[in-house]
Structure formats: C-alpha cells, structure tokens
C-alpha cells in the first residue's frame, strides 16, 4: 500500500471493489432507535394523537359499560365486548382504531427521511460510523416501538377501566385474545408506518409525503369499497342469475377487498375478539350443518381463523419496509 501511494498518477487503473462491506450494518442501530423514540414521545404531534386515542378509549369504554352491565353474568367474554361493542353515538373502539392507527403511523413516519434532508442533518449523521441500514431500520423500529407503547398503554387502560367498571377480573382467554388483538393492531400500524417511510424516501417535501400517505389512507378507507364492488362486477359478472355466479362474484369481491389493510385488520380483530365468528365469507347452509349457532370457538380455532389476516398484515409491513429500504439505499446523499 505505502509503496503505491508515491506514484498515484502512474498506477494502472484499479477497479473499485464494492463487494462485501466490512462491519455490521446494525452498528449504531440502538442509538438511532433511542434518539428517534425520544423525539416521538416528546413531540407535540404525538401528544395530540395520544390524547385523541385516550379520549376515544374512555368514551368507548364508558358507552359500553352502560350497555353491558346488565349482561355481565351471562357473557363469558365480557371484556372483549369493551373493544367491539358500538353504542350510539360511539362506534366500537376497534372501529376507531382502524382509522386512528393509520393516522398516527403516518404522522410518525411521513418526515422520517426527507426531514433529515431538509434539516441538512442527513450527510452529517451518515458521516458517522454507521450504515444507512441502521438509520432506516432504527427509525422504523422507533416508530413501531412508539406505536406499541401507546397502544399497550391504552390496552392496559381499557382493561383497567373494565375491571373497575365490571367488578371482575378478565379470564385467561380474554387476556390472550385481546393481546393477539394488540399485536394485530401494532402490525396494522406497521403497514402505514412503512408506507409513510416509503413516501418520505420518495418525496423530498415532508408535506408532499404526508399528503401522499393520507391519500392512500383515504382511498382505502372510503373508496376501496366502491372500487371493490365495481371490479367484482366487471371480473365476474352475474349474467343469468345462477347461484354459482352470485357466489363467484361475492368471492371475487371479498378477495379484492382483502388487498386493503383495513379489511385485513377488521377481519383479524373480528375473528379474535368475537369468539362466535367462525368464518369471514359466506356460509352455505351445508357448512353450518351440526353447528350450534352463536356458540364460541375455542381460542386455537379463532387464531386459526384469523391467522391468514394476521400474517398478511405482518407480510405487508415487511414488504413495504423492504421497498423503503431499497429506495433509500439507492438514494444520493447530496441534496
């Protein structure tokens, strides 16, 4: 090495070897996670959203209390009702979450990458001995942990209010079911978190990234239902009115609607929080033969029922994160 240094201009063209980087890509990961989490938890925008969720939880639980107190003794899954029962004017807490969680996730992540560029901190941070991998994953994990922290706190709050209000402790199965519901909610948030990161990598303006994220959210919340039925009618039209045709159209519609994370989340929570649910699709009379309608499924069967939805949520989170990762790795650091 030292010898070749003397005559730089004469030396033969040397190829750059970029294969095999040295050092762990996760160096500095926890420093990033720690800093980002501290930022999220102290930021005003997070606090506003936390208050919003808190109010929702209190409102929903209060409304449910009015409703279920009379039936406490008959219902074996009274605690799960706290999450799922709607009572005018309050929708069910699950319904609230299905549109509040994306909002929080997008609010956390929409300026994750482009914010570093606009504050001109990106080149300074990446000039430290860390890889880009650590920065991106650190930011994602910090978002996911923040989300988990907030949701877990609210879960505990609801359970606590339930114990106080109903005067009895939840049984093991209720705890297990609501914990799985918590996990599903976190990964539902993970999808929107990763989506926000994708947009924050693509768009240099944080405002553009936020709008893009919110558009996707609106699209799936409001328009996806219309798109689904339109597509289903086009793809499997009912020409002669045979039952087979109608059935096929319904199945197509369901398949398309499951491309939306909202559908996946609603089905997953329905499956795990409502033990009486035994299928998400259409049940033919032949399938119900011998079944006691309204009888609860055992926990394992409920998990089996919502398993595809849960893995779908996790897989979508990972895919979107991978997309953000690829985009970020290819990005030029200079603004």
Partner 1 sequence: MVEVSTKSAAPPQAATEAVLQAVNLTKRYGAAVAVDNLNLTVARGEVFGLLGPNGAGKTTTILMLLGLTEPTSGMVRVLGLDPARDPLAVKARVGYLPDAVGFYDELSARDNLSYIARLNGLPRATAQQRIRTAIDRMGLSEVIDRPVGTFSRGMRQRLGVAELLLKEPEIIIMDEPTLGLDPEAAQGFLRLIRDLKHDGITILLSSHLLHQVQAVCDRVGLFSHGRMMISGTVAELAQRILGGGYRIVVEASGDQRAIKSALLALPGVKKIEAAEREQFVIVGDRDLRADAASAVVGVGGGLVGLDVEAPSLDEIYATYFKEATNGANA
**How far, in Å, CA of 60 to CA of 84, rounded?**
9
Task: With beta carbons less than 8 A apart as the criterion, state whether 134 and 309 touch.
Answer: no
Nearer to partner 1, 128 or 311 (CB): 128
Q: Which two tokens stand for residue 238?
A: 């009912």
* Residues from 33 through 72 that contact partner 1 (CB under 8 A): 34-35, 39
**CB of residue 40 vs partner 1: minimum separation in angstroms?**
12
15 contacts partner 1 (rule: CB under 8 A): yes
By the rule CB under 8 A, 295 interacts with partner 1: no
Closer residue to partner 1 (CB): 18 or 74 = 18
Comparison of 74 and 120: residue with beta carbon closer to partner 1 = 120
Which residue from 265, 266, 277 is spatially nearest to 304, judged by alpha carbons? 277
Q: Which two tokens stand for residue 205?
A: 């303006």
Looking at beta carbons only, is 141 or 176 nearer to partner 1? Answer: 141
Q: Name which position in 90, 96, 110, 131 contacts partner 1 (CB under 8 A).
A: 131
Minimum Å distance from CB 329 to partner 1? 11
11 is a contact residue toward partner 1 (CB under 8 A): yes
Nearest Cα neighbor of 276 from 302, 303, 306, 304 is 302
Of the candidate residues 164, 218, 322, 333, the single one contacting partner 1 (CB under 8 A) = 333
Query: DSSP states of 71-110 as a string?
Result: GTTT-TTHHHHHHH--BTTBPPHHHHHHHHHHHHHHHHHT
Between the CA of residue 254 and those of 199, 251, 257, 280, what are the distances in Å?
A: 28, 5, 5, 9
8 interacts with partner 1 by CB under 8 A: yes
Smallest distance, partner 1 to C-beta of residue 70, A: 51
120 binds partner 1 (CB under 8 A): yes
Our CB check for partner 1 shows the closer of 39 and 173 to be 39
| Phi/psi of residue 90, nearest 5 degrees | -90, 130
Q: Provide the 10 A C-beta neighbour count for residue 164.
A: 10
Which pair of structure tokens corresponds to residue 208? 């553009």
Choose, by CB under 8 A, the member of 18, 70, 74, 239 that binds partner 1: 18
Spatial contact of 94 and 83, defined as CB atoms under 8 Å apart: yes
In the chain, % helix, strand, coil (3-state, to 5) comes to 70, 0, 30
Q: How many residues line the site for partner 1 (CB under 8 A)?
A: 40
Q: How far is the CB of 200 from partner 1 (least distance, A)?
A: 16
Q: Which two tokens stand for residue 170?
A: 């939840």
Give contact residues for partner 1 (rule: CB under 8 A): 1-2, 5-6, 8-9, 11, 13-23, 27-28, 31-32, 34-35, 39, 119-121, 123-131, 332-334
């Amino acid at each position: 090495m030292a010898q070749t240094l003397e005559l730089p201009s004469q030396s033969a063209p040397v190829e750059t070897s970029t294969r095999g980087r040295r050092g762990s890509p996760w160096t500095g990961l926890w420093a990033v996670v720690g800093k980002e989490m501290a930022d999220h938890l102290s930021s005003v925008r997070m606090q506003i959203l936390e208050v919003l969720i808190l109010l929702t939880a209190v409102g929903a639980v209060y409304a449910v209390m009015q409703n279920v107190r009379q039936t406490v003794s008959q219902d074996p899954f009274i605690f799960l009702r706290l999450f799922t029962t709607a009572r005018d004017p309050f929708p069910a807490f699950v319904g609230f979450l299905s549109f509040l969680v994306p909002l929080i996730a997008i609010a956390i992540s929409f300026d994750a990458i482009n914010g570093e560029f606009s504050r001109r901190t990106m080149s300074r941070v990446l000039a430290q001995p860390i890889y880009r991998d650590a920065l991106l994953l650190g930011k994602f994990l910090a978002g996911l942990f923040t989300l988990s922290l907030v949701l877990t706190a609210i879960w505990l709050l609801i359970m606590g209010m339930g114990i106080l209000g109903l005067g009895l402790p939840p049984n093991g199965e209720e705890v297990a079911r609501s914990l799985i519901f918590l996990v599903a909610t976190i990964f539902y948030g993970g999808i929107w978190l990763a989506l926000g990161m994708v947009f924050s990598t693509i768009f240099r303006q944080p405002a553009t990234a936020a709008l893009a994220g919110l558009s996707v959210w609106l699209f799936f919340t409001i328009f996806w239902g219309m798109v689904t039925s339109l597509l289903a009618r086009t793809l499997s039209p009912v020409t002669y009115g045979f039952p087979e045709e109608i059935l096929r159209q319904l199945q197509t519609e369901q398949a398309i609607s499951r491309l939306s994370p909202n559908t996946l989340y609603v089905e997953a929570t329905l499956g795990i929080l409502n033990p009486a649910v035994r299928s998400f699709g259409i049940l033919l009379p032949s399938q119900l033969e011998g079944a006691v309608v309204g009888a609860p499924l055992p926990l394992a069967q409920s998990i089996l029922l919502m398993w595809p939805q849960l893995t779908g949520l996790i897989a979508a989170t990972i895919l979107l994160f991978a997309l953000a990762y690829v985009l970020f790795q290819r990005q030029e650091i200079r603004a």
